[in-house]
Structure 1
Amino acid sequence: MTRFGYTLMTEQSGPKDLVRYASAAEDVGFDLLVSSDHYFPWLSAQGHSPYAWTVLGAVAQVTHRVELMTYVTCPTMRYHPAVVAQKAATLQILADGRFTLGLGAGENLNEHVIGEGWPNVDTRQAMLGEAIRIIRELHSGELVTFRGDYFDVDSARIWDLPEGGVPIGVAAGGAKAVEELGPLADHLIATDPDPELVGAWNSLKGRQRIGGGARAIGQIPVSWDPDGIDAAVERAHDQFRWFGGGWAVNADLPTTAGFAAASQFVRPEDVASSIPCGPDLDAVVEAARPFWEAGFTDIALVQVGDELQDRFLAEAAEPLLARLREAAPTG
Structure 2
Amino acid sequence: MARFGYFLSCEEHGPAELVEQARMAEQAGFDALWISDHYHPWNDAQGQSPFVWSVIGALSQAVSLPVETAVTCPLVRTHPAVIAQAAATCAVQLDGRFRLGVGTGEALNEHILGTVWPEAPVRLEMLEEALQIIRRLFTGEQISHHGKHYTVENARLYTVPDEPVPIDVSAFGPQAAEVAARIGDGLITMMPDASVVERFRRGGGGANPVYGGLKVCWGADERDAVRTAHRLWANEQLPDELPQVLPTPRHFEQASELVTEDRVAGSVPCGDDPDAHVKALSEFAEAGFDTVYVNQIGKDQQGFFDFYRAKVLPALRG
Q: What TM-score does the superposition give when structure 2 sets the normalisation length?
A: 0.97
- For 1:27-46, list aligned pairs within 5 A: 27-46=27-46
Question: What's the CA shift string for 1:49-79, capped at 9, x where partnerless?
Answer: 1111110110011112x11000000000111
Preserved CA contact (<8 Å) 2:223 2:271: yes
- For 1:51-66, list aligned pairs within 5 A: 51-64=51-64, 66=65
1:247 positional shift: 4.7
> Paired residue for 2:302?
310
1:23 positional shift: 1.2
Question: What's the CA shift string for 1:154-199, capped at 9, x where partnerless?
Answer: 1101101101121110001122222233222111000111212211
Q: SS of 1:277's equivalent?
A: coil
CA distance in 1, matches of 2:290, 2:308: 22
Preserved CA contact (<8 Å) 2:43 2:252: yes
Preserved CA contact (<8 Å) 1:41 1:47: yes
1:203 positional shift: 1.4
> Paired residue for 2:312?
320
> Paired residue for 1:199?
198
- For 1:111-122, list aligned pairs within 5 A: 111-122=110-121
1:246 positional shift: 3.5
Among 216, 235, 244, the alignment partner of 1:222 is: 216
1:237 positional shift: 0.8
> Paired residue for 2:70?
71
Preserved CA contact (<8 Å) 2:6 2:30: yes
Aligned pair count reads 318
> Paired residue for 1:329?
none
Q: SS of 2:54's equivalent?
A: helix
Preserved CA contact (<8 Å) 1:29 1:318: no
> Paired residue for 1:246?
239
CA distance in 2, matches of 1:233, 1:295: 28
CA distance in 1, matches of 2:32, 2:127: 25
Q: Which amino acid aligns with 2:214?
A: I
Q: SS of 1:257's equivalent?
A: helix
CA distance in 2, matches of 1:180, 1:215: 15
> Paired residue for 2:143?
144
Preserved CA contact (<8 Å) 2:10 2:38: yes
- For 1:152-191, list aligned pairs within 5 A: 152-191=151-190
Preserved CA contact (<8 Å) 2:180 2:186: no
CA distance in 2, matches of 1:150, 1:318: 50
Task: Point out where structure 1 has 5 or more consecutive residues left out of the alignment.
Answer: 327-331
Q: Which amino acid aligns with 2:217?
A: S
Among 240, 252, 269, the alignment partner of 1:259 is: 252
Q: SS of 2:266's equivalent?
A: helix
> Paired residue for 2:10?
10
CA distance in 2, matches of 1:86, 1:203: 32
Preserved CA contact (<8 Å) 2:103 2:171: yes
1:285 positional shift: 1.1
Q: Which amino acid aligns with 1:28?
A: A
CA distance in 1, matches of 2:310, 2:244: 34
Describe the shift of the 1:215–1:82 C-alpha distance in structure 2 as closer, same or farther (beyond 3 A). Answer: same
CA distance in 1, matches of 2:239, 2:211: 18
Q: SS of 1:48's equivalent?
A: coil
CA RMSD of aligned residues (A): 1.2
Preserved CA contact (<8 Å) 1:173 1:190: yes
Q: SS of 1:295's equivalent?
A: coil
Q: Which amino acid aligns with 2:40?
A: F
Confirm whether residue 232 of structure 1 aligns to residue 225 of structure 2.
yes
Preserved CA contact (<8 Å) 1:129 1:181: no
> Paired residue for 1:96?
95
